[in-house]
Amino acid sequence: MIRAARPGDAAAIGAMHAASWAEAYPPLVEAGLIPRGLFEEMTDPTRRIAAWTRMLATPALLDGTRLAEEAGEVVGFVLAGAARDAALGTGGEVMGLYLLRRAQGRGLATALLGAGLGVLRAAGHGDAGAWAVDGNAPAERFYAARGAVPGARRVEHRGPHALHETGWIWRDLSGRP
| Model pLDDT for residues 5-55, shown as the tens digit of each residue | 999 999 999 999 999 999 999 999 999 999 999 999 999 999 999 999 999
| Confidence grade of residue 95 (pLDDT, cut at 50, 70, 90) | very high
pLDDT at 68 over 90: yes
Burial of 34 (0-12, 13-18, 19+ CB in 10 A): buried
**18 contacts: CB under 8 Å, gap ≥ 6:** 42, 43, 44, 45, 47, 48
- Could you tell me if 95 and 34 are in contact, meaning their C-beta atoms sit under 8 angstroms apart? no
Nearest C-alpha neighbor of 83 from the set 177, 174, 168: 168
Helices 45-56/10-24 angle, 10° precision: 130
Average pLDDT, the chain: 95
Q: Domain-by-domain residue ranges, the chain? A: 2-170
Give the integer Cα–Cα distance in Å for 128 and 175.
Answer: 13
- Computed over its alpha carbons, how large is the radius of gyration of the chain? 15
Q: Phi and psi of 132, rounded to 5°?
A: -130, 140
| pLDDT of amino acid 162 | 87
| pLDDT of amino acid 20 | 98
- Could you tell me if 100 and 112 are in contact, meaning their C-beta atoms sit under 8 angstroms apart? no
Q: Which fold has domain 2-170?
A: Aminopeptidase (3.40.630)
61/77: higher pLDDT = 77
Give the integer Cα–Cα distance in Å for 165 and 96.
Answer: 13
**Structure pTM?**
0.94
